[in-house]
Structure 1
Amino acid sequence: MQEETLADLISEAVNGYELAREKLIRHYKPYILNAVGHITGRYITWSDEEASVGLLAFNRAIDTFNANSGRTFLNYAYLLIKRDLIDFFRKEKKNVNLHIKVSGVEATSSIEIIKSMESYREVVEATDLVEEILEFSEILSQFGIDFEDLEKYTPKHRDTRASLIEMAQHFLSFPDLIDQFIKKKRIPVTSFIQRTNYSLKTIERHRNYLVTIIIVGLHPEWRRLSQYIQIPMGSVRV
């Protein structure tokens, strides 16, 4: 989401435009789950109470964010989510290791201890990764692909994956085909086959994975995604 758009939506939400608030929350739902999971150190779904705590904190971040504070909106939202989760664990007494001393300093919860050891850089990197995932997910949806289904589309055999990555590299060597790909939101299969020796059957069988690799190749700035989606981004160049 562009910074200008984000700022506009936050302003509209604060001024009572509920559709703007809903759009913000819907767009950043993956971020909220990621942040809650990062803080708690376990896999979180929307059925967990912690996810609800995170959602409420994010909603409050929309109302209280100050653009002149020197921090980004997502870093601010992360801070509120972290604080609310700590309070939640205190009240629910879900942490068994309360009042533990670390290096002579008493902390009030194990969650607080763990997070106090994390550097600001790690938080920023986690935030940047989620931003990349959100942008990637939005582009994938334009091609009819759900980000959450990527694992299902990924070929099991390493040789098959390597062949498809090579195919994506070849595709990305044709600027006119890239233009068609971007404009029409699909692979121009006929034109591509006419210029190469690839089979229609292979392309159709692995279309979603091939589209995914091509999109990643068109966005070399998404460096943090390489490990997350297990595609060797350095192997795909425009």
Structure 2
Amino acid sequence: MKDFKVKQTLLQIQNGDELARERFIRYYKPYILNAVGHICKKYVTWSSDETSIGLIAFNRAIDTFDSSKGRTFLNYVYLLIQRDMIDYFRKEKRYLHLVSNEEQLLHELNASIEFYQQSTNNSELVEEILELNAKLSQYNISFEQLESHCPKHRKTRMKVFQIASEFIKHKDLVDQLMHKQVFPVSSFTKRSTYHAKPIERHRKYLITIIMIKLHPEWVRLSNFIQADPGSEKR
């Protein structure tokens, strides 16, 4: 969602449009989950207590954001989530296993937000991720699932990338995937040297790579997948 569209939508919501709020939150759910996980330094889901705190902070950001302050909306969201997480850690005393004292906690979280803001300042990357997530939702895949579905071994990831590159050469199969939201495994294996088993096993990750390859306008995501598999150590 472009910056001017964000401001328009926020104005709608602040004027009482609750349907717009619901759509806005649904659109930014991957961002909320990612921000909470980054601050907590662990994998979180929508059933996690920490994520509920992040959602409340996001709602508060919607109601209180002021574009005249000179910061972006997503950075403002991150600041509110970070502050609420500090309060949560204090109350639950769960931060004690991570750090020895409050000063160290604040230092680590401030360093974390500084690093994260550097990446979220690049709003184009955030938009690409959100657009990708919208595409994946048509296949019952959520962006937050991808970490658990990413092949662990370099050779396996290389193989999935090769399968994706081969698949997009077949326009009719791509059309089937796009229109029916189902990977045409049988048709593809008949035209290639690849077997159904690895395709089925890594279907979600494979579809994700295909989606990115089919959208070269997602420059940052495209650069990421081009750089990924071959550069890693064995």
TM-score (structure 2 length as normaliser) = 0.69
User: Does the CA-based 8 Å contact 1:39-1:111 persist in structure 2?
Assistant: no
- Counterpart amino acid of 1:162? M
User: Does the CA-based 8 Å contact 1:95-1:110 persist in structure 2?
Assistant: no
The residue that corresponds to 1:117 in the other structure is 111
Number of residue-to-residue matches in the alignment = 223
Unmatched 5+ stretches in structure 1: 101-107
Quote the RMSD (CA, aligned, Å): 4.0
Unmatched 5+ stretches in structure 2: 230-234
Q: Report the alpha carbon displacement of residue 21 of structure 1 after superposing the two structures with TM.
A: 1.4
Q: Report the alpha carbon displacement of residue 63 of structure 1 after superposing the two structures with TM.
A: 0.8
Q: Report the alpha carbon displacement of residue 23 of structure 1 after superposing the two structures with TM.
A: 1.9
Q: Distance in 2 between matches of 1:176 and 1:47?
A: 40
User: Does the CA-based 8 Å contact 2:39-2:82 persist in structure 1?
Assistant: yes
The residue that corresponds to 1:12 in the other structure is 12
Secondary structure class of the residue paired with 1:143: coil
Between 1 and 2, higher relative CO (CA 8 Å, sep ≥ 6) is seen in: 2
Percent identity between matched residues is: 46
Q: Distance in 2 between matches of 1:52 and 1:182?
A: 34
The residue that corresponds to 2:138 in the other structure is 142
Q: Report the alpha carbon displacement of residue 89 of structure 1 after superposing the two structures with TM.
A: 3.8
Q: Which has the larger radius of gyration?
A: 1
The residue that corresponds to 1:197 in the other structure is 192
The residue that corresponds to 1:211 in the other structure is 207
Of Structure 1 and Structure 2, the greater helix share is in 2
Secondary structure class of the residue paired with 1:117: helix
The residue that corresponds to 2:226 in the other structure is 233
1:4-60, CA deviations, whole angstroms, 9 ceiling, x for partnerless residues? 443333222111111111222233233223223322334444455433332222111
Shifted more, 43-52 versus 182-191: the winner is 182-191
Q: Report the alpha carbon displacement of residue 222 of structure 1 after superposing the two structures with TM.
A: 5.9
TM-score (structure 1 length as normaliser) = 0.68
- Counterpart amino acid of 1:63? D
Q: Distance in 2 between matches of 1:226 and 1:127?
A: 18
The residue that corresponds to 2:166 in the other structure is 170
